[in-house]
Amino acid sequence: MSHPIRIPHSEAIQRLIDGNLRFVNGIRSAENLMAHTKIAELASKGQNPFAVVLTCSDSRSPAEIIFDQGLGDLFVVRVAGNVVAPSLLASIEFAVSNLGSSAIVVLGHSLCGAIQATIQHLQDPGNELPSPHLEELIGRIRPAVKAAEKTHNPQAVDFVHHATLANIERSRRLILEQSKIIRDHHDQGKVSIEGALLDIATGKVAFLGDT
Ligand SMILES: [Zn+2]
């Protein structure tokens, strides 16, 4: 696909909002449920996902399901804690520059184990982490938790919520700061980069905007 269609980013976000509303209300789009009928066409004509979703690997936050989208609709990048790292950034860049995606959504969620582990480790740094890989991951979340500590009491029950929001915002900002390709698309109004928070208990997604 040499010139993929790029819909306005406001339309892309609206599709996600509408899809999440269907999901929350227990309704599924018949077209998306019949997505297998599009498989041959998608293979021959190429993919044109309208949005990129950077989300957590948590089994309760599958983007296609909670936004009620079908085959070929979303380019999903999943990693525990929805962090930004070079290979993940390259994946987002590919979708934006080659596939015509017009919205990038950083989707965090409540009850995130990666955020909770980072908070726990900061409060008890003597407790050695079980692997260097987890250390690397937590190292990417730690700055967001520390930022949240400046404005919220880390001992309060809702601190994990504020740390989750700070982590979403940090990933959003890092995408812009670290990728010239995405920054250029963003400056030209071709893509928006929005934070969003999924409430695991209800399935509802709150969009936090592109500021
Ligand atoms: Zn998570």
- What is the residue type of 62? P
92 Cα to the center of ligand 1, angstroms: 19
CATH assignment of 9-209, among 2.60.120.620, 1.10.10.10, 3.10.20.90, 3.40.1050.10:
3.40.1050.10
**122: pLDDT strictly greater than 60:** yes
Q: Where are the domains of the chain?
A: 9-209
- What is the residue type of 98? N
176 Cα to the center of ligand 1, angstroms: 22
pLDDT band at 210 (very low <50, low <70, confident <90, very high): confident
* Start-end of H helices in the chain: 9-24, 30-33, 39-45, 63-66, 86-98, 113-123, 132-151, 159-178, 180-187
59 Cα to the center of ligand 1, angstroms: 9
Average pLDDT of the chain to the nearest whole number: 95
What are the tokens at 21?
A: 């509303």
> What residues pack around ion ligand 1 (CB closer than 5 A)?
56, 58, 112
Reported pTM: 0.95
Output the pLDDT for position 73: 96
57 Cα to the center of ligand 1, angstroms: 6
79 Cα to the center of ligand 1, angstroms: 8
28 Cα to the center of ligand 1, angstroms: 24
Residue of 106, 110, 48 whose CA lies nearest to 78? 106
Output the pLDDT for position 92: 98
**134: pLDDT strictly greater than 70:** yes
113 Cα to the center of ligand 1, angstroms: 5
Which residues 6+ apart lie within 8 Å of 146 measured at CB? 122
pLDDT tens digits along 35-75: 888 899 999 999 999 999 999 999 999 999 999 999 999 99
153 Cα to the center of ligand 1, angstroms: 21
What are the tokens at 62?
A: 């599958």
207 Cα to the center of ligand 1, angstroms: 17
Per-residue three-class SS string for 38-52: HHHHHHHHCCCCCEE
Q: Using CA atoms, how far apart are residues 200 and 112, in angstroms rounded to an integer?
A: 9
Output the pLDDT for position 16: 98
